[in-house]
Structure 1
Amino acid sequence: MEAMFWSCLLGGAVFALLSVIIGDIVGSWLDGIFDILALDFLKPIIMASAVTTFGGAGVLLVRYTALGSAAVILISILIALFMSVVIYFAYVKPMENSENSTGFSATELPGKLGEVTIPIPASGFGEIMVNFVAGNTLHIASSWDNTEIPVGTLVVIIDSKEGVVQVSRLYENDQEKEMV
């Protein structure tokens, strides 16, 4: 029975080492295999940690306790399940939530500040640059209040319709800008 525990421990350790060294290659080979299950706690990292923990707990319990085989297996399974839950909530779930996206929604645009990069005529289109967390984005813009807006002017987005943002000057004149 100790051989089974050692096999699980070493197999999990080898899997972890290979994942670190050639994780991207193996990840592309296995891409989609575990999507059938579609359960977050059955991800390969969770399963591998469960097998490794099961093996490690089993080796320790066999060597340092006088428990019977059934008790050692049961306690090892419980320890493996507990550690899998800990790893899921302490590592996997936070990593999934930390992924950044460069995407944005048009509903996020109103209220954002931008800078005119191509002059906006009173009744035509120009371009503004808006700074998001992931970088700058350029948008086709028209003047909301039908006034000409020169390059370099700070503007606020009022609305977004059909891919065109309607903007207005943030400051009406240089005197207001200096007050801030």
Structure 2
Amino acid sequence: METLYLGCLAGGALFALISVLFGDWIGDALGGAFDALSFEFLQPIVLAGMVTVFGGAGILIERYANLTPALGMTAAVLCGLASGLLLYFGYVKPMRGSENSVGYSMNDLVGKIGEITVPVPEKGYGEVMVHMGGSGNTLHTAFSFDGDWIPSGVRIVVIDVVDGTLGVSELDKQEKGLE
């Protein structure tokens, strides 16, 4: 039994090392060949962790617990499963939800609320800070969509995007026009 446990410990550790060093290259080479067979819980890091902990726990239980081989194997399997659950719910699942992009398209700005930072003349350009929600604020060149002078500090709404420049209008005017 000790040979099985040592093999699992060494194999799991070797698999984890290879995954860290060559994981992206191997994933690209296989091109998603195993995507149809995958289950969300059976991620490579979870499997490697389970096998490694199974092997390590098996060695420790066999040497120090004085259990029968069947009970020792059962305890090692339970330790491996527990480590897999901890890895999945403590690392893999939270990391899956953390994959965000702060990139956006200029057309995504239409309808967003912002504030004039550099006054926008009737004919010409100024600057506007647009609030992007969770990713912060962004500054852009702006022109007055209505052809009105817009002073600094006024809240605006983005109406249009023309050649990478935001066409803006005063938010208060838009709200009054809707009433």
Is the counterpart of residue 158 in structure 1 residue 157 in structure 2? yes
TM-score (norm 1): 0.67
Q: What residue identity is the alignment partner of 2:114?
A: K
Match of 1:69 in 2: 69
Deviations 1:115-165 (A, max 9, x none): 569x6746x99885646537847587653x541448xx5553425568865
Pairwise CA RMSD of aligned residues?
3.7
Q: Which moves more between the two structures, 21-30 or 84-93?
A: 21-30
Residue pairs, 1:131-170, within 5 angstroms: 132=132, 133=135, 136=138, 138=140, 142-143=144-145, 146-149=147-150, 153=152, 156-160=155-159, 166-168=168-170
User: Deviation at 1:33?
Assistant: 3.9
TM-score (norm 2): 0.68
Q: What is the identity percentage for the equivalent residue pairs of Structure 1 and Structure 2?
A: 39
Q: Distance in 2 between matches of 1:89 and 1:114?
A: 45
Q: List alignment gaps of at least 5 residues for structure 2.
A: 173-179
Is the counterpart of residue 55 in structure 1 residue 45 in structure 2? no
Q: Distance in 1 between matches of 2:86 and 2:102?
A: 30
Q: Distance in 1 between matches of 2:52 and 2:116?
A: 52
Q: Distance in 1 between matches of 2:28 and 2:147?
A: 53
Deviations 1:49-76 (A, max 9, x none): 1111111111111222222222222221
Residue pairs, 1:69-148, within 5 angstroms: 69-104=69-104, 106=108, 110-113=112-115, 115=117, 121=122, 130=130, 132=132, 133=135, 136=138, 138=140, 142-143=144-145, 146-148=147-149
Q: Which moves more between the two structures, 22-31 or 84-93?
A: 22-31
On the 8 A contact 1:141/1:165 being kept in 2, the answer is: yes
On the 8 A contact 1:9/1:54 being kept in 2, the answer is: yes
